[in-house]
Amino acid sequence: MLILERKLNERILIGDDIVVTLVAARNGKVRLAVEAPREVTILRQEVFERQQKAKELANGLVQ
């Protein structure tokens, strides 16, 4: 795991075509802007986990 510190409006580059920018930080929360090609799926972890559980339920893998 890579841990980085960023100041407001500083960016992190991922590969050749993904840019993450810190756009706000206050009250223990940060806002990030993610620029990526349309074919790259970007999900919050809780949304991803919800989707995985729904797939498992649909496939009869969870009781």
Mention every residue, 6+ apart, whose C-beta is less than 8 A from residue 32. Answer: 20, 21, 22, 23
Residue whose C-alpha is closest to residue 32's, from 43, 46, 44, 21: 21
pLDDT digits (tens, 9 = 90+) for 19-62: 999 999 999 999 999 999 999 999 999 999 999 999 988 888 66
Cα–Cα distance for residue pair 44/42, rounded to 1 Å: 7
CB–CB of 47/31 below 8 Å?
Answer: no
| More confident position, 63 or 30 | 30
What pLDDT is recorded for position 30? 95
> What residues does 30 pair with on adjacent strands?
25
pLDDT of amino acid 63: 57
